[in-house]
């Protein structure tokens, strides 16, 4: 069976004008389709950079990256199916939604761009899938709570029926009770859509709750891969 994601000696270097900084150093891992994988470690360990490469945001990398057997090309944005198969939810729902666009517009735009018919109905279904009432569609994000905004961001990521969902600290800006609701929602959606999850978090408890296995990173290196018993032992 093809892995959902395979990284082989992935390296990312940044140049700050004086020094070369190795943000990710020869990271290799494989994520089985349909599982939840976690990446955790302290600030600056490179976990979010790995996610940004897989999302096609960070293009300056070396090594090999493939999702569902389709290779990425360094320096190029992902093409074709990859653009739909891989979607991302960001940490801060205040920053990741356009403040002047209605929720409806935010959700319909990716459908229209991808030539999907019946955008209004599909967008309405996406709202229902994340547990939001239809009457928030005409509102802008500032009229929503933090939890509601994160639900909108999740709805948007699900519109194109991704097979790999990337989650960058999806609950760390939220209250504890809202975090519980969003984590429940993500696990329900993963089961319903048969998705693979790649979750980045600094919170080991969140990783241990969600993930079937995880990688611990430090200073750009993958230090250890933890299976379920190892995650439970911490």
Contact residues: another protein, CB under 8 A: 146, 175-181, 183-184, 187, 205-206, 208-210, 228, 231-234
Output the smallest distance, CB 177 to another protein, in A.
5
Upper half-sphere CA count for residue 61 (Cβ side, 13 Å): 32
Output the smallest distance, CB 26 to another protein, in A.
28
Backbone angles phi, psi at 61, to 5 degrees: -145, 170
Output the smallest distance, CB 209 to another protein, in A.
3
- Both tokens of residue 38? 């976690």
Output the smallest distance, CB 111 to another protein, in A.
29
Backbone angles phi, psi at 54, to 5 degrees: -65, -30
- Residue closer to another protein by CB (options 22, 32) is 32
> How many angstroms separate the CA atoms of 129 and 113, rounded?
21
- Residue closer to another protein by CB (options 33, 187) is 187
CA distances for 83 relative to 37, 87, 111, 185, angstroms: 20, 8, 13, 23
Output the smallest distance, CB 108 to another protein, in A.
28
**Residue 178, C-beta contacts closer than 8 angstroms, at least 6 positions apart:** 145, 146, 147, 150, 171
- Residue closer to another protein by CB (options 83, 204) is 204
- Residue closer to another protein by CB (options 20, 135) is 135
- Residue closer to another protein by CB (options 57, 143) is 143
> How many angstroms separate the CA atoms of 49 and 45, rounded?
9
């Amino acid at each position: 069976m093809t892995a959902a994601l395979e990284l082989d000696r992935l390296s990312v270097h940044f140049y700050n004008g004086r020094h070369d900084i190795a943000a990710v150093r020869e990271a290799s891992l494989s994520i089985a389709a349909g599982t939840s994988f976690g990446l955790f470690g302290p600030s600056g360990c490179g976990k979010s950079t790995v996610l940004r490469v897989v999302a096609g945001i960070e293009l300056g990398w070396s090594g090999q990256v493939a999702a569902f057997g389709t290779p990425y090309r360094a320096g190029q944005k992902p093409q074709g199916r990859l653009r739909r198969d891989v979607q991302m939810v960001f940490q801060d729902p205040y920053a990741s939604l356009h403040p002047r666009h209605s929720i409806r517009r935010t959700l319909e735009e990716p459908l229209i761009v991808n030539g999907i018919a019946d955008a209004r109905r599909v967008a309405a279904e996406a709202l229902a899938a994340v547990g939001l009432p239809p009457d928030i569609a005409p509102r802008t994000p500032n009229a929503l709570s933090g939890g509601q905004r994160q639900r909108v961001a999740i709805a948007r990521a699900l519109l194109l029926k991704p097979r790999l969902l990337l989650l960058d600290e999806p609950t760390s800006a939220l209250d504890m009770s809202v975090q519980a609701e969003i984590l429940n929602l993500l696990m329900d959606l993963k089961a319903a859509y048969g998705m693979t999850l790649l979750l980045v978090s600094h919170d080991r408890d969140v990783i241990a709750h969600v993930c079937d296995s995880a990688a611990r990173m430090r200073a750009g290196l993958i230090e250890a891969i933890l299976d379920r018993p190892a995650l439970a032992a911490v």
